[in-house]
Amino acid sequence: MTDRLEAQFAFLNEADRLKSVLRATTLCDGSRPENSGEHSWHLALYALVLADQAGPGVDINRVIRMLLIHDLVEIDVGDVPIHSANGQAHGSADTQASEARAADRIFGLLPGDLAAELRALWDEFEGAQTPDAIFAKSLDRVQPVMANLQSGGGTWITYKVTAEQLEARVGTRIARGAPALWDWVRAKTAAFFH
């Protein structure tokens, strides 16, 4: 029991570092960059509140668990923004390999059964093929859009993002897991990109 708790808290204490990983997106009031810990909380709350946007076969409790752990690899790798001066980095083979090594290290802090369970959940999120992962990915794309809308443009202004780029980088991913939600969000962005 004691060794098990040592491992559980080695992981939970290490996870604390995600609160110091900064994202490109700001808070809704534009006051400062969002960190990946509070982002993960906000996304889990998105899943709870937007569960009725999920397609058939989605288990919201699994989506919430997935979103709680989806960014932990950023403790080692940092956030790789969708809109940036180095847009190629997002989803590149190099980034994927670095994130897999980070997952080995960070989930590897846990007792074996929990390490396997949470690593499988993270792999499923990254794979983006199951209904739960597809919906989780949709929410992960919606939340920065809402933050940019609230803060007056945010990273869209910084990186001169066009409506077409937003559709390609973000909209298609949101629509894959939550088509009605993207219809609604896209309408909200129209005033900005008119």
Residues that bind a copy of itself (CB under 8 A): 1-2, 4-5, 8-9, 11-13, 15-17, 19-20, 27-29, 31, 34-35, 37-38, 40-42, 44-46, 48-50, 52, 61, 64-65, 68-69, 110, 114, 118, 146-147, 150, 180-181, 184
SS3 state at 172: helix
Backbone angles phi, psi at 32, to 5 degrees: -165, 165
Burial bucket for residue 127 (CB in 10 Å: 0-12, 13-18, 19+): exposed
| CB nearer a copy of itself, residue 89 or residue 117 | 117
The sign one gets for the Cα dihedral 97, 24, 119, 133 is negative
Residue found by looking up tokens 């980095």 in the block: 89
CA-CA distance, 164 to 166, in Å (whole number)?
A: 5
Residues 130 and 137: their CA atoms lie apart, in Å, by 11
**Residue placing its CB nearer to a copy of itself in the complex, 41 or 94:** 41
Q: Shortest gap between Cβ of 19 and a copy of itself (angstroms)? A: 5
Measured from the CB atom, the residue of 28 and 89 that comes closer to a copy of itself is 28
Residue number with CB closer to a copy of itself (76 or 89):
76
**Nearest distance from C-beta of residue 66 to a copy of itself, angstroms:** 11
CB of residue 58 to a copy of itself, shortest distance in Å: 14
